[in-house]
Amino acid sequence: MGTPPGYRPSAWVHLLHQLPRADFQLRPVPSGFAPQEQEYQQALLLVVALAGLGLGLSLIFIAVYLIRFCCCRPPEPPGAKSPPPGGGCVTWSCIAALLVGCTGIGIGFYGNSETSDGVSQLSSALRHANHTLTAIDHLVLEMVERLDEAVRTELTTLEEVLTQRTELVAATRGARRQAEAVAQQLQGLAFWQGVPLSPVQVAEDVSFVEEYRWLAYVLLLLLELLVCLFTLLGLAKQSRWLVIVMTVMSLLVLVLSWGSMGLEAATAVGLSDFCSSPDTYILNLTREETGLGSDILNYYFLCNQAVSNPFQQRLTLSQRALANIHSQLQGLEREAVPQFPSAQKPLLSLEETLNVTEGNFHQLVALLHCRGLHKDYGAALRGLCEDALEGLLYLLLFSLLSAGALATALCSLPRAWALFPPRNPSASCSGSHLSEPFLHARLEPVPHLRSFPSCRRRPH
């Protein structure tokens, strides 16, 4: 298989492609990309199920930890005012977990941007390929119409003018046959005409899905960022109600993080299988969707010396026919114009049509070469298998850090708010309970100053 220019499967593709896969009965599944097969679909669903298993284990661990904390802690002695030992460690562990979560959010924003860039590169390559295919069809249609118009008007008029010279009429009819042969050969070059598959439609569908995926991840990242910031604010202010609300929100974001982790892992595994050997799957899929022959598809997707140009014979015959028409018109101009001056105008019109057709023909030859479409194919693979896959791995790291940080926070937050001192109603007007020590200090009696002997007044 020919490799597109500038594309090589990355180390991440090889690593993910080597991971074992199994179906629901835990039977091994080949790592080749086959999304239409049930066993392969089950293997990807099993990857998602592993994330669900991780979520279940996390919730069980958090529940057991909190039940043990609530039901098994020793009772506090009456009148005890000092916090239990280890309270500061619990608070700082919660803060450290939230800071790790904030770091994961930054990684998530970067991964979301990288994935969006890769999908945008894929859409751009599809649109450029559609432009090339549309240009081929347009050039073929324009040249065929020009040649048909020349056969109907200029060559017919020229035959009527040259009716007195049989050999000139024969030459004119020879040029007519050559023009009709060129038009027939050119019609076979518009290979994409009538194909139901539209690359621009595929690009629009991909962009539509990507917009909602990007927006969903931005909302998830912002939600987790707000949860982390408001939780830190609640710990700093020692606001019990705010910490309780953020604990509930942390539980929601934990579920979303594990869910996104499952989707990201399954997508990364499937994408690595596709990117390890994309040519076979793309060739089979395009053949099914378009109905084009294998010679055309192999030429454009592989584009190497082993695959010949399927249009080379038509191009050669068309080029020879155009050259023959040109030489015949030059002979008619030399022989007919001195005797039939009225033949000069249709001959000049034919020369102009032939010059435009030859220019379009050279442009068509360049467009039909495999380099352009194969370059678009390579750009699409680089966007999907490099940038998009790298972004998915960063999003997977974000989900992993987020799940770990939120699980740690959910274990620490109930112990943290249990250490908060009760609010003093008399200090609520001051806006903070930090003024209570100063209030107690004001109520304490001021000790009397001792008079030193050197300060006593001596009797006179």
At residue 22, φ and ψ (nearest 5 deg) are -150, 155
Per-residue confidence (pLDDT) for residue 411, from 0 to 100: 87
What would the pLDDT profile of 154-208 be if each residue is shown by its tens digit?
Answer: 888 888 888 888 888 888 888 889 999 999 999 989 999 889 889 999 999 999 9
- What is the average pLDDT across 361-368? 94
- What is the average pLDDT across 313-334? 90
**Amino acid at position 58, single letter:** S
Q: Is the pTM of this model over 0.75?
A: yes
- Phi-psi sector, 238: left (phi>0), alpha (psi -120 to 50), beta: left
What would the pLDDT profile of 46-60 be if each residue is shown by its tens digit?
Answer: 999 999 999 999 999
Structure tokens at 180: 């009709």
Burial 108-122 (b: 16+ CB within 10 A, else e): bbbbbbbbbbbbbbb
What would the pLDDT profile of 33-49 be if each residue is shown by its tens digit?
Answer: 999 999 999 999 999 99
Distance CA 61, CA 411 (A): 9
Q: What percent of the chain has pLDDT over 90?
A: 54
* Spacing of C-alpha 331 from chain mean position: 60
Is the predicted pLDDT of residue 379 greater than 90, yes or no? yes
Give 183's Cβ-side CA count (13 Å radius).
19
Burial 285-309 (b: 16+ CB within 10 A, else e): ebeeebebeeebbbbbbbbeeebee
Kindly report which listed range (105-114, 288-297, 329-338) carries the lowest average pLDDT score. Answer: 329-338
Per-residue confidence (pLDDT) for residue 414, from 0 to 100: 78
Distance CA 273, CA 31 (A): 6
Is the predicted pLDDT of residue 149 greater than 50, yes or no? yes
* Spacing of C-alpha 442 from chain mean position: 66
Per-residue confidence (pLDDT) for residue 214, from 0 to 100: 97
Q: Where are the domains of the chain?
A: 11-71+91-418
Per-residue confidence (pLDDT) for residue 453, from 0 to 100: 42
Is the predicted pLDDT of residue 230 greater than 90, yes or no? yes
* Per-residue pLDDT band at 457 (split at 50, 70, 90): very low
Per-residue confidence (pLDDT) for residue 207, from 0 to 100: 95
Is the predicted pLDDT of residue 120 greater than 80, yes or no? yes
- What is the average pLDDT across 132-150? 93
At residue 273, φ and ψ (nearest 5 deg) are -65, -40
- Top-confidence residue, 416 or 313: 313
| 27 secondary structure, DSSP code | -
Distance CA 287, CA 263 (A): 29
Is the predicted pLDDT of residue 444 greater than 70, yes or no? no
Per-residue confidence (pLDDT) for residue 75, from 0 to 100: 55
* Spacing of C-alpha 29 from chain mean position: 27
At residue 28, φ and ψ (nearest 5 deg) are -65, 145
What would the pLDDT profile of 388-411 be if each residue is shown by its tens digit?
Answer: 999 999 999 999 999 999 999 988
Is the predicted pLDDT of residue 433 greater than 70, yes or no? no
* Spacing of C-alpha 191 from chain mean position: 29
Q: What percent of the chain has pLDDT over 70?
A: 86
Is the predicted pLDDT of residue 459 greater than 90, yes or no? no
Residue bearing tokens 């020369």: 351
Looking at every residue in the chain, the average pLDDT score rounds to: 85
Handedness of CA 336, 338, 344, 350 (dihedral sign): positive
Structure tokens at 106: 């930054």
DSSP codes, 334-388: HHHTTT-GGGHHHHHHHHHHHHHHHHHHHHHHHHHSHHHHHHHHHHHHHIIIIII
What would the pLDDT profile of 264-298 be if each residue is shown by its tens digit?
Answer: 999 999 999 999 989 989 999 999 999 899 999 99
